[in-house]
Structure 1
Amino acid sequence: MTVEQTQVEESAEQLAPVGRGVELCYQTYGDPADEPLLLVMGLGGPMTWWDPEFCRELARAGFYVIRFDNRDIGRSTKLDSIANARVTFPKLAKAFLGLRVTPPYTLTDMADDAVGLLDHLGVGSAHLFGISMGGMIVQTMAITHPDRVRSLVSMMSTTGRRTVGFQHPSLIPTLLARQVGRQAYVEGSVKIWRLIGSPGFPSTEAEVRKRAEDTYERGISGSAVARQMLAVVSQPDRTTDLRRVTVPMTVVHGLADKMVHVSGGRATSMAVPGAELLLIDGMGHDLPQALWPTYVAAVRRTADRAR
């Protein structure tokens, strides 16, 4: 039986209490005896944006794969009742301009959620793979919980420094557009993915529409996404703290990424001593199937450096 044909054990979705009144919905793929790999998704994305077959490919590469819904997304806890929960457009605008605001929660809180999930699973330390906002979260984990991190892959993300990793100005109206109801969410998703998807590895509109429909049904809330967005735009500059990261790290970024400019990836790799930088022509701000082997190889190569 070839590696590609090997069957992968996968768990049912479960809820894990991770502290501070938050429960995360998670699922695992592979053998618990293998090296744990925590996948952390980006803004507004449930764990289902990590395609199950991609998770299986990572498991076949020797990992015990853990995917989960971040707080406020999917089947994890929605935080509508916490203090300062309502995020207004003026507050987001202030944060975009670099003015001081107090978000309902921070990327550090989200990093602590992920550590709480590792605690729940009895995992002392794990390899981390985060994309976009998830890349910011795993960077934060490496800074605040270095003993829990074996290696780190940060993809299409940035350091939090405002002069790098910026959005293309043409995206801002679409990102801030209000979407009420299933149809509006789906149509808005199709529109944004036309703008930020990989031009060299395009998805079909049917694929994008199906994913948006599944995401909405799983549990999406405009106010919840706004809270995540405020956590992102109010994040601190991690550049100095990243210089103290000692675990193996690979930074992956698309040269056609309009959501997070490639300068964010370059700055991240420059901040972390010994980090590998992998730039991919034609890749935007998504996970095209044609590039899965490249991503799996990068995660495996980075984890092997930890040995």
Structure 2
Amino acid sequence: MTTERLLPVNGVELCVQTFGDPAAPVLLLIGGAEASMDWWDDELCERLASGGRHVVRYDTRDTGRSTTFPPGAPPYDADALLGDAVGLLDALGAQAAHLVGISMGGGLAQRLAVHHPARVASLTLIATSPAGPGGPGRPDLPPMSAELAARFAEGGDEPPDWADREAVIAYYVRGEHTYAGTLPVDEQRIRRIAGRAWDRSASPASAQNHWQIEGGEPVRARLGEIAAPTLVLHGTADPLFPYGHGEALAREIPGARLVPLDGMGHQMPPPEVWDTVVAEILAISGPRPSPSGTSRQQAGDVGVRREVRP
């Protein structure tokens, strides 16, 4: 594992950390809304790297040590977050990467695969959706659970005092219980991650800006254009994007493989499912047979260019 470093990307600085051999195929982890890189667990990253991948995790703008903006006034839109992911590949000298996106990050990964197909060697989508939960014009997608809908109707969880470390940790622990599936919540683990995220953040409250940004052209109608090998990992007990959302992605992206994660909710994969998650991601991002039938590294399976070593 390398130390964190700041890279200039699209007029902001993104904090990046890498695991594994810099010459190995790049695996770019794209987090969900308001989530710093800390939520990609160290051990999970190390297990992926030990499979021969150069794993890259980063703080999206307004999280962690990346550039932050005043809470409540984000001067950017969803397209900027997409541009950040592409710009990060440029900054790393990566011609293409194997993308792993979760929730909002899964939406960004879908858009990147549609608009920048040459940059995507493979696509892994976790706990995400082709269009969002139910609603007008989307009757084929199941709505969020009745319990979660009722919680939203009541106003959801009251935001904490973002300057109070313990209050923020408790807020994220409550959130984990809200979105978890049937697997038990390891509160000590969530407290550790949330505490580290708070410690690393220049402005913990700014992460809430992700809920206020707009923009981002829907790409559901273009999912059939995605040519990259695609893996869909979806919790069977996801209360926000029920399992039907994962099924829809697998139907609409040609050749996509759908793998259920038993008992997982709308959350970062907990350790109980890591064996499956790691094996499946390494499989989708591995070398594939060439048209001639001989095994080789495909053009998409490039790592960082030799002259640029993170």
Q: Normalising by structure 1, report the TM-score.
A: 0.83
Q: Does 1:65 align with 2:65?
A: no
Question: Which residue type is aligned with residue 282 of structure 1?
Answer: G
Residue pair 1:161, 1:238 contacting (<8 A) in 2 also: no
Residue pair 2:63, 2:204 contacting (<8 A) in 1 also: no
Structure 2 partner of 1:292 = 274
Higher relative contact order (CA 8 A, sep 6+): 2
Q: Does 1:160 align with 2:131?
A: yes
State the 1:241 CA deviation: 1.8
| Aligned equivalent of 1:130, options 89, 101, 120 | 101
- Listed one character per residue, the Cα deviations across residues 195-249 of structure 1 (whole Å, up to 9, x for unaligned) are 222423x2322222222222222217565233211337x6543211211111100
- Listed one character per residue, the Cα deviations across residues 52-95 of structure 1 (whole Å, up to 9, x for unaligned) are 11111101111011110011100000023xxxx735xxxxxxxx
Question: Which residue type is aligned with residue 247 of structure 1?
Answer: A
Secondary structure at the residue paired with 1:203?
A: coil
| Aligned equivalent of 1:169, options 142, 149, 155 | 149
- CA distance in structure 2 between the aligned counterparts of 1:161 and 1:28, rounded to whole angstroms: 31
Structure 2 partner of 1:197 = 180
State the 1:300 CA deviation: 1.5
Structure 2 partner of 1:246 = 227
State the 1:295 CA deviation: 0.7
Question: Residues 1-307 of structure 1 correspond to what in structure 2 (within 5 A)?
Answer: 10-19=1-10, 21-80=11-70, 86=72, 104-163=75-134, 164=141, 166-167=143-144, 168-172=148-152, 173=154, 175=156, 177-180=158-161, 181-200=164-183, 202-219=184-201, 221=203, 223-231=205-213, 235-286=216-267, 287-304=269-286, 307=298
- CA distance in structure 2 between the aligned counterparts of 1:166 and 1:219, rounded to whole angstroms: 33
Q: Normalising by structure 2, report the TM-score.
A: 0.82
Query: Structure 2, unaligned stretches of length 5 or more?
Result: 135-140, 289-297, 299-310
- CA distance in structure 1 between the aligned counterparts of 2:132 and 2:240, rounded to whole angstroms: 15
Question: Which residue type is aligned with residue 8 of structure 2?
Answer: P
- Listed one character per residue, the Cα deviations across residues 257-303 of structure 1 (whole Å, up to 9, x for unaligned) are 11322232222222211111112221112321121121111112212
Superposition misfits of 4+ residues, deviation over 6 angstroms? none
Question: Which residue type is aligned with residue 127 of structure 2?
Answer: M
- Listed one character per residue, the Cα deviations across residues 119-157 of structure 1 (whole Å, up to 9, x for unaligned) are 111111000001111111111111121111100000001
Secondary structure at the residue paired with 2:82?
A: helix
Q: How many residue pairs align between the two structures?
A: 276
State the 1:178 CA deviation: 2.1
Question: Could you say what the CA RMSD is over the residues aligned between the two structures, in angstroms?
Answer: 2.2
Q: Percent identity?
A: 36
